Structure 1
Amino acid sequence: MFDIISPLENVTLDFVSELQDKIDFKTKPQGSLGLLEQVAFKVALVQQTLTPVLTKPSIVVFAADHGVADEGVSLFPQVVTEQMVLNFLAGGAAINCFSNQHAIDLKIVNAGVKANFEQIDNANFINQPIAAGTHNFAQQAAMSKEQCLAAINKGADITQQQFDQGCNVIGFGEMGIANTTSAAAIMAAILNLSGQQSAGKGTGIDQKTVLIKAKVIDDAIEKYQLHDADALTVLQTVGGFEIAMMVGAMLKAAELSMLVLVDGFIASSAALVASEMNDDFLQYTQFCHQSEEQAHQLLLTKMAAMPLLNVGMRLGEGSGVAVAYPLIVSAVSFLNEMASFADAGVSEGH
C-alpha cells in the first residue's frame, strides 16, 4: 500500500560512518548529549544529509467519535469530542498554546465526529469525516473494510498536502472520547495481551471502570478472534476513524522521507499498526513522550522506542509532540553548528 524503503538502503557505509564521526567528534565527550545524539543521527539519516534542516513543522490532530463509548468506558460524554474540536479551532486548547509557542503549523481534521461542522470556515480545519463515529465494537466491527481503507487513504492525502507545502517534519495527535479503549484493544490484539494489561485510566476513570474497559477489550478479542488477525483487520474491527487516518498519515510521511513525530498512547497504537504494515516504518519515527497511561511504557518497549520526555502527560491532542519539538531542533542545531575538536583546536580525549 505504501512504498517505504529503509533509509539505510539509500546511503553508503561511508555516509553512516561520516555521520557518526561528525556527532562523536564535536567538542564534547562522546555520548554526553545523550538521546539528542541519537535524534541528530536519525534526522540526518532520514534526510540523508550531514546537514539536515527542519522545515515548516506541522502537527495534524485527527478527531472522531467511538461507538464503544456506549459501554461506559469513559469519564466524559461523547459530545466533548465536538466541543474540543471547536475549542481547537478557537485556539483555546493546550495544543494551540504549545504549537503557537514553537511556530508549528496546526491542522484539525474531522475524521468522524458526531457533529455537523459544515458552517465552519477555518483555513486550519479539514472537514472530511468517514462517518459520524464508529460502531460500538462490543456489538459489531467498528467500521467496514472499505471505511478503514478510506480513512487510511485520507490520512495519506493530508500528509501529502503538508509535504507539498514544504513540510518535512510532521507530528500527529488525536481527540475522541473512548479512544483509549480502541487504542488499548489494538495493542492487546496485536501484542497478544489481555485487556487488563492494556487498559488504563484514560481521561481519569476509576478502577471499577478500568475493569469494565478491560472486559470490553477481552470480549471483543474473543468475539472477533483478533489475536490471530492481521493489523489491518484489528484496526477495522476495534479502531477509530482518527486512528485509521493517523495510520495512513504516518505511513505516507515515511514514504515521503519525512520525520514522523509520535505523541502519546493513542498515536502510538497507530504507529504500532503502521509498523505491522511496513517493517521499515519505525526508522522514520521519533516518539515524543511516555504517557501516564499505564500500558504506554509496555507499548513503547515492544517497538524498541526511546521517547524524548517523561513528564507525566496524558492529554493527547499532539501536545507531547509540540512540547518535545524544541529538543529535536536542539539536536539538529548541535549537529550543524557545534564545532569539532579539529575546528576549535581543542585536544581530544584518549
Structure 2
Amino acid sequence: MSSLNLDDFTDLIERPDGGTRRDAEERRARLTVPPGALGRLDDLAEWLSAAQGTVPVRAVARPRVVLFAGDHGVAELDVSKRAAGTAAGLVREALDGASGGAVLARRLGVGLRVVDMSVDCDPDELPKDVSRHRVRRGSGRVDVEDALTPQEAEAAFRAGMAVADEEVDSGTDLAVLGDLSVGGTTAAATLIAALCGTDASVVTGRGGDPVDDLAWMRKCAVVRDALRRARPVLGDQLQLLATVGGADLAAATGFLLQCAVRRTPVILDGVVSAACALVGQRVAFRAPDWWLAGHASGEPAQAKALDRMAMEPLLDQGVRVGGAVGGLLALPLVQAAAALAAELPERTEQTDADADTGTDTGTGTGTGTDATADEPADA
C-alpha cells in the first residue's frame, strides 16, 4: 500500500498571493505607459509578482529547463516515426548541446537538466547524475499492460518531487518543463482523453514528426485500448499514471505539484507536460495557478487539456518539436513582462497635471504643441 497521500497537496498548495497581485495592478495603473497598452505582458507581470509575493516584480534571474526522459512500450507498435527504444539518442543530443532545446537554452543563458526516468538503455551509458533517479528500463505497453507497477509509479512521482526541491533549493526561480520521450505523446493523449471524457480520435495527434494516416490510425487504436484500461482507475491519480502513464510522466507530475508547494512558477512545454499538469489539477485544484502554457503545439490533446485548465498559450508559432523548445521561446516574454513592470517609471504629479492641461513637458507624454528638434530640453 502506498505511503504517498496525494490528498496532502490540496492542503499544501496555496494560490499565488492575491493581495500582492492587487498591489501590482495598482502600481501598473500608475506607470507612464497607459494601462492595457502592453497587452498580456501586464497579466504576466502581475501573475509573476503574485507568485513572488513582491511588488515591484523581481527579474527572473535563474530560470532552469528540466527534461524528464523515458521510453514507452507503445512505440513498438509504430505509432511514431522514431524507432522504439531510442530516447537515449534524444538524451545524448540534449547533453551534447545539439538539440533544439539545448541550443535555445544556451542562447538564452538558461541551465538545462535531463532526468532519465525510464530510458531503454544501460544506465551506465548515461552520466550518473542523469540516471540516478531512474526507476526502470522502458515502460509497459499501455494498451495491454500497465506502464509501471504501483511501487515504480510512487518512486517516479517522488523522484519528480525531489528534483523540484533540488532545483528550488539551488536557486531556480522559474522552471521550463519538457520531455525527451519516444511514445510519450500516446500516453499523454490517453491521460487527457481519460480525464476529459473524450474519445481517442478527438485527442490523438500526429506527433512532433507527423506520422502518416496509417500510423495515426494505429495510434488511435492504441489510445482507444488504453482508455478502456484507464477508466476504472480514474479516481486514483497515482494508479492512473501507473496504468497508462509512464515513469517520465509520473515524475513530471510530482515535479509540477512540488513546484507549486514551493511557490515556484513553471512554464509548460507541449502535450506531455500538459497531460501531467491535468493530472496535477485533479490532485490539487489550486496547483495550475502556478503554471503557464508556453505555446500551442498543434496536438489536439494539448488543446483539450489547456482548455480544461483554462490556460491560454503564450505563443502559437506552429512549433511541434518537443524538448522544451516551445517553453523556452515563451521565456523571454515572461522576462520582458517582469522587466517592463519593474523598470518603467511611475507617473509624477507633474506628469498627471501636464496630461490634464495638455502641456508638453518634452517627455513625449503631453498632448499640446510638439517641440521642435532645435528647442532645448526643459531644465
TM-score by length of 1: 0.93
Contact 2:234 2:240 in 1 (8 A): no
User: In the alignment, what sits opposite 2:182?
Assistant: 177
Q: Kindly indicate whether the alpha-carbon contact (under 8 Å) linking 1:104 and 1:322 is maintained by their aligned counterparts in 2.
A: no
Answer yes or no: is the 8 Å Cα contact 1:107–1:126 preserved in 2: no
Count, aligned residues: 345
* More displaced stretch, 158-167 vs 294-303: 294-303
Q: CA distance change for structure 1 residues 119 and 296 in 2, over 3 Å: closer, same or farther?
A: closer
Question: Any idea what the Cα deviations from partners look like across 1:162-216, whole Å, max 9, x if unmatched?
Answer: 1111111111110111111000000000000100011000131112221221121
Instruction: Pick the aligned partner of 1:7 from 5, 16, 41.
Output: 16
The residue aligned with 2:39 is 34
Q: Does the 8 A contact of 1:24 with 1:31 survive in 2?
A: no
Note the C-alpha offset of 1:30: 1.8
Deviations 1:11-50 (A, max 9, x none): 54xx443221112332223212111111101101111111
Q: If the length of structure 2 is used for normalisation, what is the TM-score? A: 0.86
Secondary structure of the residue aligned to 1:63 is strand
2:57 to 52, 57, 66: 52
Q: C-alpha root-mean-square deviation of aligned residues, in Å?
A: 2.0
Equivalent position of 2:296 in the other structure: 290
1:90 equivalenced with 2:96 (yes/no): yes
Q: Give deviations 1:66-116, integer Å, cap 9, x for gaps.
A: 011122211110243111111111111111110011111100111110112
Whole-Å Cα distance in 2 between the matches of residues 58 and 343 of structure 1? 41
What residue number does 2:201 align with?
Answer: 196
Amino acid at match of 1:289: H
State the secondary structure of the residue aligned to 1:289. Answer: coil
User: Which deviates more, 312-321 or 208-217?
Assistant: 208-217
Provide the rounded CA distance (Å) in 2 between the counterparts of 1:99 and 1:204: 25
Gaps (5+ residues) in structure 1? Answer: none
Task: Please say which of residues 104-113 and 50-59 is displaced more in the overlay.
Answer: 50-59
Superimposed CA distance per residue, residues 127-146 of structure 1 (whole angstroms, 9 cap, x where no aligned partner) = 42110011111111111121
- Aligned match for 2:346, one of 315, 334, 340: 340
SS of equivalent residue, structure 1 residue 261: strand
- d(CA) in 2 for partners of 1:348 and 1:144? 67
Q: 2: distance between equivalents of 1:155 and 1:37?
A: 31
Quote the residue 2:249 is aligned against. Answer: 243
Q: Percent identity?
A: 25
Residue 208 (structure 1) aligned to one of 211, 214, 236: 214
C-alpha deviations, 1:118-158, integer Å up to 9, x for none? 254476x3542110011111111111121111111101111
Q: 1:74 aligns with which of 65, 80, 90?
A: 80
CA contact (8 A) 2:203 2:301 kept: yes
User: Could you tell me how far apart the structure 2 residues matched to 1:240 and 1:223 are?
Assistant: 14
Q: Which of 319, 325, 330 lines up with 1:324 in the alignment?
A: 330
SS of residue matched to 2:105: helix
Q: CA separation of 1:142/1:343 partners in 2, compared to 1, >3 Å: closer, same or farther?
A: farther
CA distance in 1, matches of 2:261, 2:272: 22
Match of 2:152 in 1: 147
Q: Give 1:349 shift.
A: 8.2
1:262/1:285 contact within 8 Å kept: yes
Matched-pair contact (CA < 8 Å) for 1:190–1:227: no
* 1:189–1:227 contact (8 Å) kept in structure 2: no
Among candidates 156, 161, 164, match of residue 156 of structure 1:
161
**Does the residue aligned with 2:123 lie in a helix, a strand or coil?**
coil
The 2-side partners of 1:349 and 1:313 are apart by: 47
Do structure 1's residue 274 and structure 2's residue 280 form an aligned pair? yes
Cα distance in 1 for residues equivalent to 2:95 and 2:122: 14
3-state secondary structure, aligned to 1:196 = helix
1:105 is the counterpart of 2:134: no
Call closer, same or farther: CA 1:141–1:311 in 2, change over 3 Å: same
Q: Which amino acid aligns with 2:50?
A: L
Aligned to 1:131: 136
The structure number with the bigger radius of gyration is 2
2:90 paired with 1:64: no
Supply the AA of the counterpart residue of 1:287.
A
Please give the alpha-carbon distance, in whole angstroms, between the structure 2 residues aligned to 1:348 and 1:173.
Answer: 47
CA contact 2:153–2:239 (8 Å) conserved in 1:
no
